[in-house]
């Protein structure tokens, strides 16, 4: 509505200025009879480009695939933005206008009757802004296991666009359609349970029980780091426990980045190698949170282990993630350690723009 009002005001101003110039031209037509026409033409030439610039509407066009069998997918900022499920019922397309980009409340909600409502409340506004005005539809994907919206480039590299939980104490709210939305507050509303009981729930056959346990663990903060690392050491081949704990750790750092120091103190080289093994997994649901967890830290021990791993000539996808982790931790090391990291990264130059970007960051 604000945009429409601005258009109307500018249009009226444009007509008024042209009329004024026409009147001026008419008043001096004793000198030259065609001043009126010249005045109108001059006004049009000067004002019309400004009118087009100020009233143009730019937008981001996005299609989210793999939304499952959602009955409702809602996108919202301060108000609603335009979107709808597509005919195949497995994708959702929306348009977000540039004037909505100042909102810090962008979110996408997936809802299905009889199940929980998934609220992706942490959409990265910068990702939307980067495609505004391109007139090219951006392809996103909903990862239901990690409860994230992601984007893949032509090399298969994964970029997180939005997460379900991005801050502590996120309130549960209701949308204008009356759907109940649940976030991390669902688990936070209950009293804290004994750690062994929560860890046991990570291995439940019920998906929602496992997810709830991950959220509970992510809310433990520093007190949960050491005992959960011990659980991993004692159960290094337990898939459900691995994925549950690494997602919880990643969420911890997302909520409280300062916990990086606590992780650096608690993690041994063997722990780091275990997480690097997860980061190299063929299973995307395990690989992605492991990569994000390691990249979110500021730990020289991670740099040392990644530098060593790069020397073993991993396959391109593994190398890509290792370089990303290394680039995010590189500022934590001394000059001599940094030089070793640069030497390990150099053979991977010219393997793609993003890979080169990581290497340039390592070399800075």
pLDDT digits (tens, 9 = 90+) for 242-264: 999 999 998 888 878 888 889 99
pLDDT score, position 158: 79
Highest averaged pLDDT of the listed ranges 134-138, 148-152, 166-170: 148-152
E strand intervals along 5-144: 59-65, 72-76, 82-85, 91-97, 107-111, 118-120, 138-143
Residue 143 CA to residue 141 CA, distance in Å, equals 6
pLDDT score, position 19: 61
Which tokens in the block code for residue 34? 């065609």
Question: For residue 322, how far is the Cα from the chain centroid?
Answer: 20
DSSP labels, 293-308: HHHT---HHHHHHHHH
Q: How confident is the model at residue 10 (pLDDT cuts 50, 70, 90)?
A: low
> For residue 32, with 0-12 CB atoms within 10 Å meaning exposed, 13-18 middle and 19 or more buried, which class applies?
exposed
Across the chain, what does the average pLDDT equal?
74
Is 238 a residue whose pLDDT tops 90? yes
Is 293 a residue whose pLDDT tops 90? yes
pLDDT score, position 323: 93
Q: What is the pLDDT of residues 191-231, one digit of tens each?
A: 468 899 999 999 998 888 898 899 899 888 899 999 999 99
pLDDT score, position 95: 74
The percent of residues above 90 in pLDDT, for the chain, comes to 25
Helix (H) or strand (E) holding 326: helix 316-329
DSSP 8-class letter at 171: P
The residue with greater pLDDT, 97 or 1, is: 97
Cβ neighbours around 104 below 10 Å, total? 8
pLDDT score, position 208: 83
Lowest-confidence segment of 49-58, 65-74, 310-319 by average pLDDT: 49-58
Residues linked to residue 110 through DSSP beta bridges, in sequence order: 73, 118
Helix (H) or strand (E) holding 240: helix 239-255
pLDDT score, position 275: 96
pLDDT score, position 146: 74
Is 34 a residue whose pLDDT tops 60? no
pLDDT score, position 354: 85
Q: What is the pLDDT of residues 41-56, one digit of tens each?
A: 666 666 666 665 555 6
pLDDT score, position 303: 94
- Provide the CB-side half-sphere exposure for 46 (13 A, CA): 12
Lowest-confidence segment of 174-178, 214-218, 225-229, 323-327 by average pLDDT: 174-178
């Amino acid at each position: 509505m604000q945009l429409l009002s601005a258009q109307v005001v500018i249009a009226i101003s444009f007509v008024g200025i042209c009329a004024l110039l026409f009147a001026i031209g008419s008043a001096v037509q004793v000198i030259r009879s065609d001043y009126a026409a010249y005045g109108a033409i001059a006004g049009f030439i000067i004002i019309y480009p400004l009118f087009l610039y100020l009233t143009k509407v730019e937008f981001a066009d996005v299609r989210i695939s793999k939304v499952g069998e959602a009955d409702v997918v809602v996108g919202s900022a301060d108000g609603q933005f335009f979107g709808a499920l597509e005919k195949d019922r497995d994708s959702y397309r929306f348009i977000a206008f540039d004037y909505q980009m100042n909102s810090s409340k962008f979110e996408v909600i997936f809802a299905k009757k009889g199940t929980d409502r998934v609220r992706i409340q942490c959409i990265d506004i910068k990702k939307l802004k980067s495609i505004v005005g391109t007139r090219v539809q951006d392809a996103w994907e909903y990862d239901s296991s990690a409860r994230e919206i992601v984007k893949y480039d032509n090399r298969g590299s994964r970029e997180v666009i939005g997460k379900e939980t991005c801050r502590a104490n996120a309130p549960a709210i209701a949308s204008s359609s009356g759907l109940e939305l649940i976030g991390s507050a669902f688990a936070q509303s209950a009293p804290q349970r004994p750690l062994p009981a929560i860890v046991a729930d990570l291995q439940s056959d019920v998906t929602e029980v496992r997810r709830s346990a991950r959220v509970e663990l992510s809310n433990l903060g520093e007190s949960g780091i050491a005992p959960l690392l011990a659980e991993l050491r004692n159960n290094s081949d337990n898939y459900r426990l691995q994925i549950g704990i690494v997602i919880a750790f990643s969420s911890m750092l997302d909520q409280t980045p300062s916990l990086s120091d606590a992780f650096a103190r608690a993690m041994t080289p063997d722990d780091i190698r275990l997480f690097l093994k997860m980061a190299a997994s063929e299973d995307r649901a395990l690989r992605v949170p492991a990569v994000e967890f390691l990249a979110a830290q500021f730990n020289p021990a991670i740099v040392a282990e990644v530098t060593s791993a790069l020397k073993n000539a991993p396959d391109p996808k593994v190398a890509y993630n290792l370089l990303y982790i290394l680039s995010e931790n590189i500022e934590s090391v001394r000059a001599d350690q940094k030089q070793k990291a640069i030497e390990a990264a150099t053979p991977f130059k010219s393997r793609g723009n993003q890979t080169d970007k990581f290497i340039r960051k390592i070399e800075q």
